[in-house]
Each structure stands twice: as C-alpha cells, then as structure tokens.
Structure 1
Amino acid sequence: MKNIYILFILSLCAPSAFSQQSMMLEKYRSMAVEYSHDLKAAEKNLSASIELEKAARADLKPKLSGDANFQYTGNPLELNLNLPGMDKPLGIQGRDTKYGASLTLMQPIYTGGRLLENIRMAQHQHSLATHQKEQLLSDVCFQTDIQYWNTVARQEIVRIVTDYRNSIASLTETIRERVEVSLVNPQDLLMAEVRLNDAEFQLLQVQKEFETGVMAFNSLIGLPLEKSTPMDTIVPPVNLADSAQLTLAHDRPEIKMAHDQIRMAESSLKLNDSKYKPQLYIGVDGSYSSPGYDLRADLDPNYAVYAKVSVSLFEWGKRRNEKRASNQKIGIAKDNLNQIQDKVNLEIQSARLSLSQTMGQVQLSQQSLEKAHENERQAMERYNEGEISIVEVIEAQTYRQNAEINHVQAKVSAQGQYSALIKALNLYK
C-alpha cells in the first residue's frame, strides 16, 4: 500500500522526485537555474512586460499636461482705423512680448478600440515573456542534466582506465619476474610494457576530459572553475518503472508562445483598423498669459472647453491593404503553430523510442561486460598454465575495458534520453 502511495505521489510531482534522479543533481539543477544569466534576463523581460501593461492601462485615464511659452516680436502688429465722427484715426498696436503658462486636461472618449487593444497586446506580450522564461528554465534544467551525467560518466571512465592500467602493470610485473627466471620469452615483456604505456597515455587523456568536464559543469552552476565538485561515482541505470510513468505531457512553452503570437497578430490587426475609426476626445485648457484679453499687458487667466472628433475619410486603399497584410500575418502565425505542434509530437515520440532503445543497449552492454570479465579470468588461468600467449591475455583485458566503457556510455546515453523525454513532455518545473 505504501509503494502504491509513493508511485501516485511521484506521478503528480515533477521529475525531480523520481528515484533515478540524484539528490546532488537536484541541488545542482537549482543552482544552475539560480545562476543562469538567460533566466535572469528573462525575469527582467517579464517585469518589463508587467510595467508595459500598466502603462497601457494608464492611457484610459485623463492626461494632464503643462505648457509655458515666451515670444518676443521685433515689429509687433499695428492697426490704424479711420472711424466716422473721429478727428484722428484710431491706432492699435500689439505687444512685442508674449508669455504665459497653460494646463490641459484631456480625456479620450472613443478611439476605435485602440486603447483597449493596446492593453490586450501588452497582456499577450506579458504571456509571451512568461512562456519564454518557462522555455529557458526547461533548457537550463536539461543542459544541467546532460552536463552532469556526462561528467559522472567521465569520472567513471577514469576509474575504469585506472583499473585497466593497474591490471596491465600487475601483468607486466608478473611477466618481468618470469623473464628473470627464463620462464617466458622476453618479447612478452616488451609487448606488455608497450601496452602499459598505452594505458598510461589513455589515462592521462580521460583525466583531462574529466577535469575539463568538471570546469564546464562548474561554469554552468556558478561555482569556481577549479573547485572539486562532489557528484555521483557511477551513472545509475534508468529505472523502467519510472520511465513508464512519463506519459502525461504538459503544454510545451513553444506551443504556448505560438498561441501568443497568433493573439498578438490579431491584436495588431485591430490596432491598425482602429486608426481609421472615429476618434473622440474632450478636454479643458486653462491659461495664464500676457497679453490678456482686451490686449492688456498684465497676465490674465483664461480657459477653453473643447471636444475633438476626427475620422479618416479617404486613404487611397491603405486601410484595405493593411488589413490584408495583417490577415496574412495571422495566417503565418497559425502555420507556425501547426509546424511547432508537429515538431513537438515528433520530438516526444522520438524521445520515447530512443529511450527504449538505449535501455536495451544498457542490458546488452551489461551482458557483454559479464562475459568480458569471465573471458579475462579464463585467459589469465590459461596463461598461467602456459596454454596461451600474452597477446591473448592483453586482448582479453582490452575487451573487458571496452565492455566497461561501452556499458558506461550506454547508461549515460539512457540518462540523456530520459532527460530528453522529460523536456519533451515539459515536466521540468
């Protein structure tokens, strides 16, 4: 009953709860997510989209603006009028300086849906930024898994090559002792020493690959490159029962982003169309300027209340052309969604098939490894009895080493395919 309950909980949780997922890998995955510069940039992009949505909503509210001006005219306006009953013409002269300040309060009443569509566009961009962050998180987790298991595999290969080197060294020492008492041909010692040098060379190479792998992994999780990072000593095989539980696929962020692109294209169509609809604004303009009314020199207050209506009447087919172009962009976005869905379905099925095949390879490599160990044991016995040459013993040890390396590579390939299936099903959280 307890096991059934645990399996039920695991099926509801993120893949980090599955048994083959190392606790250290869980820790490093969290460190990579926290350290990732791409995720930090995605978080800032998400915050910016929230602010842009708030800014779009602010356009619905009245706008208050201020203005100040100063103007000096070298030859101000003069007017002389000959009026009946007056001996002298009436002269009026404008002022050479004009200055003042004004405040304007304006409220949009109807904009053809532009303001509301701007808000919807900002919401779609916010949704797009959210799904972009989700995609980056999945990529970072997947990259961490692959880098971690590759580094563990390199460490295990170092141990395998070290054991192989030690076996060759032990065999070489045994042959040297037999050569000294003239029991075997000195040529056997030369062959063993050459093989020992090859093993030493191979060990240096795999150690270099392991150390560079650790540095790459440390760079990924934000640790100093030279730090010795603890990790698993062997690559565990993927548990068949756990992999069978990965059946429920969540919507991939790529699909969600494609839907966002469609909605943004639809909003763009409505925004373009709103330009050709009537625009209605009302406002109040208050000023305090000189010259005041009746051409007085002092500053005087004044005000104006207005309503403004504008509508596009003839644009030489521009509205129709823009609408057609926007409809084509919507069609492109829908085609992109269909393409992404096909790609995701293919990725999921390919990941399942690849995982199944690699798990079969793990079983085959395990069987080969057991036979290689037995072959090496029998070869040593027959060599000690003088039935075979040293060449066959060295070949048996080489087969055993290759079988061990193939087994490690099969296991790390299975872990990589398991992580690929997790990513394909969007189960990283």
Structure 2
Amino acid sequence: MNKTLITTFLSILLLSPSLIAQDIDLSLSEAINRTLSGDTRVKSSQLSIQINEGKLKETQLERLPSFNLGASYTRLSHIRSTVSLGAASFDIDSNDNAYALKADLQYPIYTGFRIQEAINLAKEQVSNSALQLEVLQNAIRFETERAYWETLRAQKNVSMLKENLTLTKQNRNITQEKYKNGTVLKVDLLEARMRYDQAEMDLEAGITYEKKASINLADLINLTQTDGKFTEPLFSLTTDPYLIQMSQDLSLEELVNKALLNRPEIKSSNMAILMSETQKKIQEANLQPTVSFFGNYTYANPNSRVFLQSDPDFVGTWSLGVGINYDLGGLPSHMTAAKTSQTSINRAQVQRQQQENSIIKDVRNCYLSYTQLKKDLDHVKKMLGSAQENERVTKQRVASGTASDLDQLEASVLRLQREFAIVNKQIDLQIATADLLRATAIPMEIKP
C-alpha cells in the first residue's frame, strides 16, 4: 500500500508541469522575435499608432461639407384675423398645423488653412508614434540580446566550473596521497582542500546564476508560465557567440554621424519641432476670417416665405449664399496662443540639442567599451596560447619524470582559467557590439 502511494506521488511530482524543466532550442533571432511579438509595451505602442491613424482620418473627413436634414410638426392655436382693404374686409383663419422638411448645406471655402494644417499635424502625430514604437523596439531588442548573452555566459561558465571542480578534486586526492606518503606538508593538503571547497562554491554560484539568467530570458520571451504555473526553463542556445560582429569597421566620427542620422530618438525630436511649427500655423490661421458657402431647401406647409398663404399646401423654397465670419473678440487670445506656440518651438529645438548631445555621448561610451574589449580579447587569447603551451610542456615533463602530477594539474587549471577569461570576454564583446549597434542604429547581422 505504502509502496503504491509513494510510486503514485513520485509520478505526479515528476509529471507536474510546474516542476518540469523546459528544454528549448533558441537562437538569438528567435529570442528577439518572440520578445517583440509578445511584449505588452509593444502592443500598447502599436495601439497608440492605430488611435492616431483614426484621429488622422477624422481630421481628413472634416473637409466634407456639413449637410443636415430636419423634419418638424407644430400644432398651433387657432386664430381668426380680419384684413381690411379700403371699404372691403375679410376674415382669415389660421392654419393650425405646420409641417416642415429642411435640408441645410454649409461648406467652408476658406479657413486660413486651419483644416489643412490640422491634417498635417495629425499625420505628424502618426509618424511620431511610429518613431516612439521604434525607440521602444530597439530598447527591448537590446534587453533581449543582453539577457541571451548572459544566459549563454552562465551556461558556458557552469561547464568550465564543472571541469574546474574535477581538476581540483584530482589535485586534492593526489595531495592527500602524497601527504600520507610524507612527500608534501599538511599546509599543502589544507590548501588543496580549500581549493576544492572553493571550486564547489563557485560551481553552486554558477548554477544559481544560470538559473537566474534563464528565468530572466524566459520572462522576456514569455515562457515563465505554463497554464498559470511557474516553469523553470532550460535553454539550448544555438547562436555561436563568436559570430556577431560589426559588419564594417567605422571611425568614431562616422558612427556618430550614422547615429545622428538614423536614431529614432533624433528623428522623434525633429518631428517634435515640426509638430510645434504646425501647431503655430494652426494658431495663426485663427487670426484670419472664415468664408463659407451655404444653402437651404425648405419644403413646408405653411411656408414662411409665402405671403398670405390661405390654402393648406406644401411649398418648396431654396436659398444659396456666401458668408464671412471674423472673430474680432478672439484676436487677443489667438495672438497669445501663436506666441506660446513659438515658445514651444524654441523648447523643442533645445530638447533636440539635448537629445543630440545624449546620443553623441552614448555612441562614444559604447565605442570605447567595444574597442577596449576587442583589445582585451586579443590579449587573453595570447595568454591562452601561452597556457596551452605550458600545459603541453608540463605533460612532456611528467612523462620524462621531471614534473609531478600536481604540476600537470596546475597547468591544466591555468589553461582552464584562460579559457574562462576568453569566454567571458567574448560574451562581453557581444553585449558591447549589440550596444554599439543600438547606439548607432546599425542593423545587427548574425553571420552564418
């Protein structure tokens, strides 16, 4: 009975979706695409574009004429009137029922270009919201790239830390045997044990860091939950970290020029200036009169335009005209608004300069990090070559009896440390490359 319960419990435990680790093959491009397609911030920004597009359509439709249809019925009190024409007089009974059908048309011929400038402003708002979406996507793309590289770093570090633990364990065991034989001191044994203990701690820390990095990446690509339950992902990252490179070597000045030309932030700042200028034109248009064409058709019984209509009958009448309207009382307010719009333009220009300075600083910092890491990587690669040669020579010395197994292990650990440094520098370089591409708005190329 107990055995059956235990078996059942273990089966449930092992099959529970909240405890099963997902093993997911994931390339960098796939991670970026998944993040961009599922991020709620992107969806919200896309909806903002749709809203602005709807407002643009509303503004464009304001060009259509105003056309109103109306119908009415009025019950009037009865009145008898007496009309005298010289010696003769006669009585007229009022028509107690009034019916009317009306059609009114009004079309603004000239509005000081208010409508056209309002359409231009709506178009600019659509363009600006698209630029804001691009800014957001670039930030999310880099966030995903960093998370991807950090996860790959953690995986490779864990692999090397496991090898380091194996080497330090061998070193401890050999030192322990030598201590028993009296060929090493107790301090050597204590040092070997401490190295092993430290290697265990480093591996545990590396595994924890790998889990955290994987969870962060999974959260970005919407994999942290399955059926409402938390799932710990296990990624198989398929992008080689050595193949993400700048497509061409450019000088700092060239990179800054590219950034100032292509960064969506600077384009958005330029658009803000343009929107402020358009807003000023709208305010200045309010200083001009409005000329409108209007027309009316009335089909009524009685019709007010028919004098002394005695027979109850429907009569149709029409009218056409042109009118001008000039809001003199609103001139002070409109003039003040136009001046305020000029202040908004000045502010947008200052903010544009601030954005330019920020972009230049961003590119310089990214460029310095990128170039320094390239130099560092070349340096540690040379150090790895020396460590590999030292390991080879030590192996030959062990074979000839001029070096011990401990010397061989020391040489292997040194080689592993150099490999560890190279992997981390390579990952750092990938992150720096992605950051420089973001800062300069250069598309990332993942080489096959």
- One of 259, 276, 280 as aligned partner of 2:270: 259
Distance, in Å, in 2 between the alignment partners of 1:150 and 1:290 is 84
Cα distance, 1:191 vs structure 2:
4.2
- 1:84-103 matched pairs, under 5 angstroms: 102-103=102-103
C-alpha offsets along residues 222-248 of structure 1, whole Å, 9 cap, x if unaligned? 4455343321486327768x4515856
Q: Larger deviation: 161-170 or 245-254?
A: 245-254
C-alpha offsets along residues 98-154 of structure 1, whole Å, 9 cap, x if unaligned? 775543322111111111111111221122123223323322322222221121111
1:228 maps to 2:234: yes
Rate the CA distance shift 1:68–1:191 in 2: closer, same or farther, 3 A: farther
Rate the CA distance shift 1:68–1:171 in 2: closer, same or farther, 3 A: farther
Distance, in Å, in 1 between the alignment partners of 2:79 and 2:408 is 120
Name the structure 2 match of 1:6. Answer: none
**Which letter does structure 2 place at the counterpart of 1:425?**
T
Cα distance, 1:78 vs structure 2:
6.6
Name the structure 1 match of 2:45. Answer: 42
C-alpha offsets along residues 353-388 of structure 1, whole Å, 9 cap, x if unaligned? 221111112123334445566778899989xx9999
**Which letter does structure 2 place at the counterpart of 1:196?**
Y
Rate the CA distance shift 1:238–1:80 in 2: closer, same or farther, 3 A: closer
Q: Give the TM-score taking structure 1 as reference length.
A: 0.76
Distance, in Å, in 1 between the alignment partners of 2:362 and 2:147 is 20
Distance, in Å, in 2 between the alignment partners of 1:99 and 1:110 is 35
Name the structure 2 match of 1:11. Answer: none
Distance, in Å, in 1 between the alignment partners of 2:215 and 2:269 is 37
Cα distance, 1:188 vs structure 2:
4.4
Aligned length: 401
Distance, in Å, in 2 between the alignment partners of 1:208 and 1:101 is 81
Structure 1 residue runs of 5 or longer lacking an equivalent are: 1-22
Name the structure 2 match of 1:126. Answer: 126
- 1:231-380 matched pairs, under 5 angstroms: 231-232=237-238, 235-236=241-242, 242-244=247-249, 247=254, 249=258, 250-287=261-298, 292-293=303-304, 294=309, 303-315=318-330, 317-371=332-386
C-alpha offsets along residues 341-361 of structure 1, whole Å, 9 cap, x if unaligned? 232233223322221111112
Cα distance, 1:81 vs structure 2:
6.9
**Which letter does structure 1 place at the counterpart of 2:147?**
Q
1:30 maps to 2:33: yes
Question: Is this contact kept in 2: 1:238–1:411, CA < 8 A?
Answer: no
**Which letter does structure 2 place at the counterpart of 1:34?**
S
**Which letter does structure 2 place at the counterpart of 1:235?**
P
Name the structure 2 match of 1:422. Answer: 437
Name the structure 1 match of 2:10. Answer: none
Distance, in Å, in 1 between the alignment partners of 2:87 and 2:415 is 128
Rate the CA distance shift 1:80–1:203 in 2: closer, same or farther, 3 A: same
Question: Is this contact kept in 2: 1:109–1:281, CA < 8 A?
Answer: yes
Name the structure 2 match of 1:117. Answer: 117
Distance, in Å, in 1 between the alignment partners of 2:390 and 2:201 is 25
Question: Is this contact kept in 1: 2:287–2:335, CA < 8 A?
Answer: no
Q: What is the aligned-residue RMSD (CA, Å)?
A: 4.1
- One of 55, 59, 63 as aligned partner of 2:58: 55
SS at match of 2:262: coil
Cα distance, 1:205 vs structure 2:
1.7
**Which letter does structure 2 place at the counterpart of 1:60?**
R
Name the structure 1 match of 2:218. Answer: 218
Question: Is this contact kept in 1: 2:95–2:312, CA < 8 A?
Answer: no
Q: Larger deviation: 344-353 or 177-186?
A: 177-186
Distance, in Å, in 1 between the alignment partners of 2:438 and 2:84 is 93
- 1:127-206 matched pairs, under 5 angstroms: 127-181=127-181, 183-185=183-185, 188-206=188-206
Distance, in Å, in 2 between the alignment partners of 1:280 and 1:362 is 73
C-alpha offsets along residues 203-226 of structure 1, whole Å, 9 cap, x if unaligned? 122112112212222232344553
Q: Larger deviation: 76-85 or 219-228?
A: 76-85
Name the structure 2 match of 1:20. Answer: none
Question: Is this contact kept in 2: 1:138–1:428, CA < 8 A?
Answer: no
**Which letter does structure 2 place at the counterpart of 1:244?**
D
Q: Larger deviation: 34-43 or 252-261?
A: 34-43
Question: Is this contact kept in 1: 2:391–2:412, CA < 8 A?
Answer: yes
Question: Is this contact kept in 2: 1:128–1:260, CA < 8 A?
Answer: yes
Rate the CA distance shift 1:322–1:181 in 2: closer, same or farther, 3 A: same
**Which letter does structure 2 place at the counterpart of 1:412?**
I
SS at match of 1:276: coil
Q: Give the TM-score taking structure 2 as reference length.
A: 0.74
Name the structure 2 match of 1:64. Answer: 67
Distance, in Å, in 2 between the alignment partners of 1:78 and 1:330 is 66
Rate the CA distance shift 1:286–1:209 in 2: closer, same or farther, 3 A: farther
Structure 2 residue runs of 5 or longer lacking an equivalent are: 1-25, 225-230
Cα distance, 1:316 vs structure 2:
6.4
Rate the CA distance shift 1:277–1:299 in 2: closer, same or farther, 3 A: same
